[in-house]
């Protein structure tokens, strides 16, 4: 009897806790989504659910002369896709090289990658600014793709290395005996076996350009070239108090696709996280 | 070591006259030795490199060294139409030229070594590799080195060069208002900036204040998210909880929303005047809370919001580890009559802590540099009057950002950057050494 009541208590407490946690987690999103459909501009609203729903703010984002949201969206998509392909390839090959080969200075390469990851990122902003300016790359999307994908191995190489380390060596040795060379082994054996890692890396690379507002803000100067993050930060956050509902609509449009992508690929994220974690 | 060894071992070349001759020729001019060894294509490529490099470095190298050494000598004078030297550009251009020169020297050394080796092989009676054979050799035996050249060069110029540049800036007086190129020159000042940072009252007060808050923040934010995630994971993983997948899916939502968006949204939620949170508190008859405008409350708010952002990751990690704990350990504990709390303390906690220890430390180091959480939520505010360009919730890293991009205090910003680096690096290196995978990685496989 005593045991049973304590079990009921425990379960009741657990469900209550989970329910409260879910409310806390869901509330901000629901609030912002509802706000984006609310008429008017103000942050303050008497009720959570608006009395009237309107699509005006979404329409304004795409038609207004000052937002150019459609352009920004396409810019970001382009940059993100290119960064994803290049960056992921670089990370995987770097991880493959340091995981599978023993060469002179290998430990040094590993240590350098580790040390470079510890510098605060925007310590390099000024130097990159001058460098990109002298290369005439300011205000180009190429500069962003270049810097994002070249920087990718620093953050991701260890993760990829840790994952490749878990793939048994006997597999590539067998392939080598059958006459496969390093390139074939990489594409035919390592890549197919590292799908979870691939998905994780590709997604993180893809999401990066959507949310970077610091480096992108420095490089992109003209409004037509903005990415959504820069646009949102420059144009809308400066007026989030005066036109909150518009900000809410833009937020929903940026966050929704990324969040949906994440949820769909959830499994890979868990795998990627734990794989990177257990191996460091 | 069980690492892959090249199938054909190249024996150490014997000292030989032909090898020495080829090396000498290659020392004289890159590629000559290769031509002498009848490796035509390789030789011509190296010759072309030499032909391009020599005039380039002849004209640039001296100027580069002068630029870095002096940081410019002529001041701009508009009246006399003197453009003057731009110290920062001199410094960066100098660095780039020196790095290129180092790369060139590396190629040159390799070129000499190669000429010597091939020459010796010829003397030993072996045919030199054709160009195609050389490429195949690289693909099969030097794959890692050859491939790493691409990210290597990218990282060298886009990451290493900027970092060296910033480190050097810390030893100059590059800052507003008196030393901002191109209007005026910058000089080397040694450790002055660091000294000012710790001794000059205006700076040191801010520095210590921000530093201490950075550490408090890092500890609190790491601990709260870690144990918060632990608790949620434990509750969901209880054997008699239904709909595990649903709970998990809902609770990782914050992880799926880009921080840039969620934090800007939070900033509005916690808005003291119009934000809904204060509005709801009003319904319960409670007064408004200055979430983001009072120093103490702002600090609490960033920690709370960071829990919202960070708990899902810890939850995911710990849930993964909980499933790997062998069931028989719990059964054995039950046989011994352990209560739930004892099972947790003796089995779960040590197992989880053991597997996540390194991540915990990595997260701590990451939180020292957690720019987004502070910048997007409070922007470092509320402003503190007696602070030098910083607010009550500013971390070192956001202060660095303000000093660079808003205040043009580059020298101080760089010095702070170096301090952050030392802090994070020592934590990470300690962590790294402790992690077995580094030392024993070859034994695991």
DSSP secondary structure string, B82-124? B----HHHHHHHHHHHHHHHHHHHHHHHHHHHHHHHHHHHHHT
Q: Identify the band that residue A12 occupies on the pLDDT scale cut at 50, 70 and 90.
A: very high
pLDDT recorded at residue B12: 53
CB-based contact, B247 to chain A, within 8 Å: yes
Residue A7 lies in a domain: yes
- Percent pLDDT > 70 in chain A is 92
pLDDT recorded at residue A280: 37
Q: Which of B270, B84, B220, B91 is nearest to B165 (CA)?
A: B91
Residues 6+ apart with CB under 8 A from A66: A223, A235
Give per-residue burial for A136-149: e unless 16+ CB within 10 Å, then b.
Answer: ebeebbebbbbbbb
First vs last Cα of chain A: how many Å apart?
Answer: 48
pLDDT recorded at residue A238: 66
- Percent pLDDT > 90 in chain B is 18
Which residue's structure tokens are 């702070």? B416
Name the residue among A176, A241, A251 with its Cβ closest to that of B265.
Answer: A251
Together in a domain, A36 and A164? no
Q: Which residues of B touch A207 (CB under 8 A)?
A: 258
Residue B127: phi, psi to the nearest 5? -75, 140
- Percent pLDDT > 70 in chain B is 94
Which residue's structure tokens are 């590993």? A110
Asked if the model's pLDDT at residue B4 lies above 50, the reply is no
Residue count of chain A, please give it.
280
Q: Which residues of A touch B93 (CB under 8 A)?
A: 134
Q: What would the two tokens of residue B87 be?
A: 């110290």
Name the residue among A21, A28, A116 with its Cβ closest to that of B251.
Answer: A21
Asked if the model's pLDDT at residue B443 lies above 50, the reply is no
Together in a domain, A178 and A250? yes
Measured CA to CA, the distance from residue A227 to residue A144 in angstroms comes to: 10
Q: Mean per-residue pLDDT for B423-436?
A: 78
Measured CA to CA, the distance from residue A45 to residue B20 in angstroms comes to: 85
CB-based contact, B130 to chain A, within 8 Å: no
Nearest CA-CA distance, residue B14 and chain A, Å: 22
A272 to each of A165, A219, B253, B270, how far by Cα in Å?
Answer: 14, 31, 17, 33
Burial class (CB in 10 A: 0-12, 13-18, 19+), A256: middle
Name the residue among B150, B425, B444 with its Cβ closest to that of A118.
Answer: B425
Interface test with B, best of A26, A27, A34, A118 (most B CBs within 10 A): A118
Q: Mean per-residue pLDDT for B6-10?
A: 46
Peptide bond into B177 cis (omega under 30): yes
B251–A130: do the CB atoms touch at under 8 Å?
A: no
A255–B266: do the CB atoms touch at under 8 Å?
A: no
Give per-residue burial for B168-206: e unless 16+ CB within 10 Å, then b.
Answer: bbbbbbbbeeebbbeeebbeebeebbbebbeeeeebeeb
Nearest CA-CA distance, residue A63 and chain B, Å: 22
A48–B276: do the CB atoms touch at under 8 Å?
A: yes
Asked if the model's pLDDT at residue A178 lies above 60, the reply is yes
Nearest CA-CA distance, residue A31 and chain B, Å: 9
Measured CA to CA, the distance from residue A172 to residue A174 in angstroms comes to: 5
Closest-CA residue of A relative to B244 is A18
Together in a domain, A127 and A257? yes
pLDDT recorded at residue B99: 93
Q: Mean per-residue pLDDT for B343-372?
A: 85
Peptide bond into B300 cis (omega under 30): no
Asked if the model's pLDDT at residue B235 lies above 50, the reply is yes
The total of other beta-carbon atoms located within 10 Å of residue B267's CB is: 20
Residue A192 lies in a domain: yes
Together in a domain, A275 and A155? yes
CB-based contact, B405 to chain A, within 8 Å: yes
Measured CA to CA, the distance from residue B6 to residue B138 in angstroms comes to: 11
Together in a domain, A95 and A220? yes
Mean pLDDT value across chain A: 84
Residue A62 lies in a domain: no
Measured CA to CA, the distance from residue B436 to residue B259 in angstroms comes to: 32
Closest-CA residue of B relative to A211 is B260
Asked if the model's pLDDT at residue A205 lies above 80, the reply is yes
Residue B243: phi, psi to the nearest 5? 60, 40
Q: Which of B424, B375, B418 is nearest to B399 (CA)?
A: B375
A109–B148: do the CB atoms touch at under 8 Å?
A: yes
Residue A184 lies in a domain: yes
A29–B253: do the CB atoms touch at under 8 Å?
A: yes
CB B263 within 8 A of CB B373: yes
pLDDT recorded at residue B211: 94
Together in a domain, A248 and A176? yes
Q: Which residues of A touch B160 (CB under 8 A)?
A: 116
Together in a domain, A21 and A78? no
Measured CA to CA, the distance from residue B111 to residue B393 in angstroms comes to: 55
CB-based contact, B323 to chain A, within 8 Å: no
Asked if the model's pLDDT at residue A155 lies above 50, the reply is yes
A172–B4: do the CB atoms touch at under 8 Å?
A: yes
Measured CA to CA, the distance from residue B274 to residue A224 in angstroms comes to: 33
Lowest mean pLDDT among B118-122, B151-155, B162-166, B285-289: B285-289
Name the residue among B88, B258, B414 with its Cβ closest to that of A210.
Answer: B258
Q: Which residues of A touch B161 (CB under 8 A)?
A: 127, 131
A45–B264: do the CB atoms touch at under 8 Å?
A: no
Measured CA to CA, the distance from residue B317 to residue B298 in angstroms comes to: 29
Together in a domain, A35 and A102? no
Nearest CA-CA distance, residue B152 and chain A, Å: 9
Domains for chain B: give ranges and CATH numbers: 17-190 (no CATH), 194-444 (1.10.3720.10)
CB-based contact, B275 to chain A, within 8 Å: yes
B143–A266: do the CB atoms touch at under 8 Å?
A: no
Together in a domain, A157 and A177? yes
Residue A225 lies in a domain: yes
Measured CA to CA, the distance from residue B312 to residue A259 in angstroms comes to: 14
Residue A139: phi, psi to the nearest 5? 65, 25
Measured CA to CA, the distance from residue B395 to residue B398 in angstroms comes to: 5
Residue count of chain B, please give it.
445
| A96-148 tens-digit pLDDT | 888 888 888 888 888 888 788 777 777 788 788 888 888 889 899 999 999 99
Residue A141 lies in a domain: yes
Asked if the model's pLDDT at residue B307 lies above 70, the reply is yes
Q: Single out the residue in A57, A80, A96 at which a domain terminates.
A: A57
What 8-state DSSP symbol labels residue B271?
-
Q: Which residues of A touch B274 (CB under 8 A)?
A: 42-44
B358–A122: do the CB atoms touch at under 8 Å?
A: no
Nearest CA-CA distance, residue B119 and chain A, Å: 23
Residue A97 sits in a domain of what CATH number?
A: 1.10.3720.10
- Total domain count for chain A? 2
Together in a domain, A44 and A171? no
Residue A182 lies in a domain: yes
Full-model pTM:
0.82
| B360-417 tens-digit pLDDT | 888 888 899 888 889 888 888 888 888 888 889 999 999 988 888 888 888 888 999 8
Residue A146 lies in a domain: yes
The total of other beta-carbon atoms located within 10 Å of residue A193's CB is: 16
CB-based contact, B101 to chain A, within 8 Å: no
Closest-CA residue of A relative to B150 is A90
Lowest mean pLDDT among A117-131, A167-181, B33-47: A117-131
Measured CA to CA, the distance from residue A99 to residue A165 in angstroms comes to: 6
Asked if the model's pLDDT at residue B17 lies above 50, the reply is yes
A166 SS3 class? coil
CB-based contact, B2 to chain A, within 8 Å: yes
Q: Which residues of B touch A122 (CB under 8 A)?
A: 371, 400-401, 404
SS (H, E, C) A77-136: HHHHHHHHHHHHHHHHHHHHHHHHCCCCCHHHHHHHHHHHCCCCHHHHHHHHHHHHHHCC
Nearest CA-CA distance, residue B201 and chain A, Å: 25
pLDDT recorded at residue A78: 95
Together in a domain, A53 and A71? no
Measured CA to CA, the distance from residue B87 to residue B68 in angstroms comes to: 8
Q: Which residues of A touch B421 (CB under 8 A)?
A: 118-120
Q: Which residue has the higher pLDDT, A41 or A279?
A: A41
Together in a domain, A45 and A92? no
| A234-271 tens-digit pLDDT | 776 666 567 888 888 989 998 988 888 888 887 776 66
> B residues 159-198 near A, CB within 8 Å?
159-163, 165-166, 169
Chains A, B: CB pairs < 8 Å: 246
Query: Which range marks the domain in which residue A103 is found?
Result: 67-279
Residue B271: phi, psi to the nearest 5? -55, 130
Helix (H) or strand (E) holding B23: helix B17-28
Q: Identify the band that residue B328 occupies on the pLDDT scale cut at 50, 70 and 90.
A: confident
Asked if the model's pLDDT at residue B191 lies above 70, the reply is yes
């Amino acid at each position: 009897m005593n045991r049973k009541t304590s079990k009921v208590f425990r379960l009741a407490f657990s469900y209550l806790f989970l329910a409260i946690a879910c409310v806390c987690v869901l509330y901000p999103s629901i609030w912002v989504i509802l706000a984006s459909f609310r008429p008017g501009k103000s942050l303050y609203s008497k009720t959570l659910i608006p009395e009237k729903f309107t699509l005006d703010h979404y329409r304004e984002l795409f038609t207004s002369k000052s937002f150019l949201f459609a352009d920004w969206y396409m810019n970001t998509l382009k940059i993100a896709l290119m960064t994803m392909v290049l960056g992921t390839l670089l990370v995987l090959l770097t991880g493959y090289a340091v995981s599978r080969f023993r060469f002179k200075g290998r430990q040094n390469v590993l240590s350098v990658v580790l040390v470079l990851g510890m510098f605060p990122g925007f310590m390099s902003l000024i130097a990159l600014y001058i460098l990109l300016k002298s290369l005439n790359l300011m205000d180009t999307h190429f500069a962003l793709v270049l810097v994002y994908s070249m920087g990718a191995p620093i953050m991701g190489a260890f993760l990829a290395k840790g994952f490749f380390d878990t793939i048994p060596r006997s597999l590539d040795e067998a392939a080598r005996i059958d006459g496969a060379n390093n390139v074939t082994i990489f594409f035919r054996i390592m890549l197919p076996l590292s799908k979870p890692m691939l998905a994780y890396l590709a997604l993180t690379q893809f999401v990066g350009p959507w949310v970077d507002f610091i480096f992108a803000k420095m490089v992109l100067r003209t409004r037509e070239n903005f990415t959504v993050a820069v646009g949102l930060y420059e144009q809308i956050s400066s007026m989030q108090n005066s036109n909150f509902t518009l900000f809410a609509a833009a937020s929903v449009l940026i966050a929704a696709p990324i969040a949906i992508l994440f949820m769909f690929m959830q499994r890979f994220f868990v795998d990627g996280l734990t794989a990177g974690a257990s191996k460091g | 070591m069980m690492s892959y060894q090249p199938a054909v071992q190249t024996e150490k070349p014997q000292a030989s006259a032909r090898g020495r001759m080829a090396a000498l020729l290659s020392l004289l001019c890159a590629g000559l030795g290769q031509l002498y060894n009848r490796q035509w294509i390789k030789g011509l490529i190296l010759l072309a490199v030499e032909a391009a490099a020599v005039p380039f470095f002849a004209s640039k190298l001296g100027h580069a060294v002068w630029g870095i050494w002096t940081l410019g000598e002529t001041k701009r004078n508009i009246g006399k139409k003197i453009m003057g030297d731009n110290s920062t550009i001199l410094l960066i251009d100098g660095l780039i030229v020196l790095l290129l020169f180092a790369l060139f020297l590396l190629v040159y050394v390799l070129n000499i070594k190669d000429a010597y080796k091939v020459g010796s092989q010829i003397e030993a009676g072996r045919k030199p590799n054709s160009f195609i054979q050389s490429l195949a050799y690289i693909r099969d035996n030097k794959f890692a080195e050859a491939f790493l050249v691409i990210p290597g060069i990218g990282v060298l110029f886009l990451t290493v060069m900027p970092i060296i540049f910033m480190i050097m800036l810390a030893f100059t007086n590059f800052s507003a208002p008196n030393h901002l190129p191109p209007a005026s020159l910058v000089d080397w000042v040694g450790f002055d900036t660091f000294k000012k940072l710790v001794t000059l009252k205006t700076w040191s007060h801010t520095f210590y204040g921000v530093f201490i808050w950075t550490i408090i923040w890092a500890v609190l934010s790491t601990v709260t998210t870690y144990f918060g995630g632990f608790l949620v994971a434990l509750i969901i993983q209880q054997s008699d909880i239904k709909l595990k997948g649903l709970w998990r899916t809902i609770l990782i939502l914050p992880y799926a929303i880009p921080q840039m968006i969620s934090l800007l949204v939070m900033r509005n939620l916690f808005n003291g005047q119009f934000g809904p949170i204060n509005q709801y508190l009003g319904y319960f008859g409670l007064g408004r809370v200055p979430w983001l405008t009072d120093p103490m409350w702002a600090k609490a708010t960033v920690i709370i919001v960071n829990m919202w952002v960070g708990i899902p990751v810890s939850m995911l990690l710990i849930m993964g580890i909980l499933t790997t704990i062998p069931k028989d350990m719990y059964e054995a504990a039950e046989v011994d009559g352990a209560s739930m709390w004892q099972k947790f303390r003796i089995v779960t906690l040590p197992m989880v802590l053991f597997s996540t220890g390194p991540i915990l430390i990595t997260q701590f180091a990451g939180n020292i540099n957690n720019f987004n959480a502070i910048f997007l939520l409070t922007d470092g505010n509320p402003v503190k009057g007696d602070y030098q360009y910083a607010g009550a919730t500013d971390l070192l890293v956001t202060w660095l950002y303000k000093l660079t991009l808003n205040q043009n205090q580059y020298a101080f910003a760089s010095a702070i950057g170096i301090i952050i680096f030392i802090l994070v690096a020592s934590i990470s290196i300690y962590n790294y050494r402790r992690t077995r995978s580094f030392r024993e990685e070859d034994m695991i496989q």
